[in-house]
């Protein structure tokens, strides 16, 4: 159990660091924007996504010894962290879109993907799905169904970003900001983040339906 706890704790820290480097630059969890780090590695800021992907990959490898040491604890911990993390991420990403539906509609229109008359309706409805299914993933026992809907949302993000890259549009997915990307590198960053996160989300689709409280009460 001790080995599992140590490995899972380090994996949690690395995952938090990795997701921050990929999605939330200039936060206390990141390194590639810190002055002291840039003095040592002046070009590190260009490789924030690389740092993030490497950190998440190492975290994934640490799950292996934890799983072998104590599978039951590892399963419960991973499911809890993933439900809190993914659910919280979707709740957070929905709030500014709900507050500024016009700005979100403008961002959607920049993709040149949906018919114009659908953009406003989509901008009003989609953030509500993100909010309530994010809440549902955390507080309800319907893990599989909720994870399936979130999985489909990730697929829609990936399709939209792939469309933007194919048509040479420098646009972010609008997940955490309404401002469009300034270069295709930012579009690639958004795509890589979604591809990284869709794996853990798929694992949640395979879990049994349980509330987090019941998950930890059962032996």
Cα–Cα distance for residue pair 120/108, rounded to 1 Å: 9
Looking at residue 77, what is its pLDDT? 87
pLDDT above 60 (res 181): no
Looking at residue 151, what is its pLDDT? 94
State pLDDT tens for residues 41-78: 888 877 887 888 888 889 889 888 988 888 888 888 88
Cα–Cα distance for residue pair 99/148, rounded to 1 Å: 26
Cα–Cα distance for residue pair 33/46, rounded to 1 Å: 10
120 vs 135, which has greater pLDDT?
135
% pLDDT > 90, the chain: 20
Cα–Cα distance for residue pair 160/108, rounded to 1 Å: 9
pTM greater than 0.85: no
187 vs 217, which has greater pLDDT?
217
Site of tokens 């970003």: 161
Looking at residue 170, what is its pLDDT? 63
State the Cα torsion 208-56-167-26 to the nearest 10°.
120
Distant-in-sequence, close-in-space partners of 97: CB < 8 Å, separation ≥ 6: 103, 104, 123, 126, 127, 130, 174, 178
Looking at residue 176, what is its pLDDT? 55
20 vs 176, which has greater pLDDT?
20
Highest-confidence range of 97-101, 130-134, 153-157, by mean pLDDT? Answer: 130-134
Cα–Cα distance for residue pair 25/17, rounded to 1 Å: 10
Q: Where are the domains of the chain?
A: 1-69, 79-219
pLDDT above 90 (res 135): yes
Distant-in-sequence, close-in-space partners of 114: CB < 8 Å, separation ≥ 6: 108, 122
């Amino acid at each position: 159990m001790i080995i599992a706890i140590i490995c899972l704790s380090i994996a949690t820290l690395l995952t938090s660091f990795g997701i921050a480097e990929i999605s939330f630059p200039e936060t206390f969890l990141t390194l590639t924007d810190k002055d002291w780090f840039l003095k040592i590695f002046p070009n590190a800021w260009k490789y924030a996504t690389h740092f993030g992907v490497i950190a998440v990959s190492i975290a994934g490898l640490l799950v292996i010894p934890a799983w072998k040491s104590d599978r039951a604890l590892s399963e419960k911990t991973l499911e809890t962290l993933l439900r809190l993390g993914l659910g919280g991420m979707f709740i957070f990403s929905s709030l500014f879109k709900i507050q500024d539906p016009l700005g979100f509609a403008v961002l959607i229109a920049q993709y040149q993907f949906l018919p114009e008359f659908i953009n406003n309706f989509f901008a009003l409805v989609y953030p509500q799905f993100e909010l309530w299914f994010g809440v549902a993933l955390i507080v309800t026992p319907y893990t599989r169904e909720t994870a399936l809907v979130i999985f489909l949302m990730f697929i829609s993000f990936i399709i939209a970003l792939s469309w933007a890259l194919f048509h040479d549009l420098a646009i972010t997915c609008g997940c955490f900001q309404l401002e469009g990307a300034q270069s295709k590198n930012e579009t690639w960053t958004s795509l890589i983040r979604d591809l990284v996160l869709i794996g853990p989300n798929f694992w949640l689709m395979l879990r049994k339906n349980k509330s987090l409280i019941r998950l930890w009460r059962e032996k």
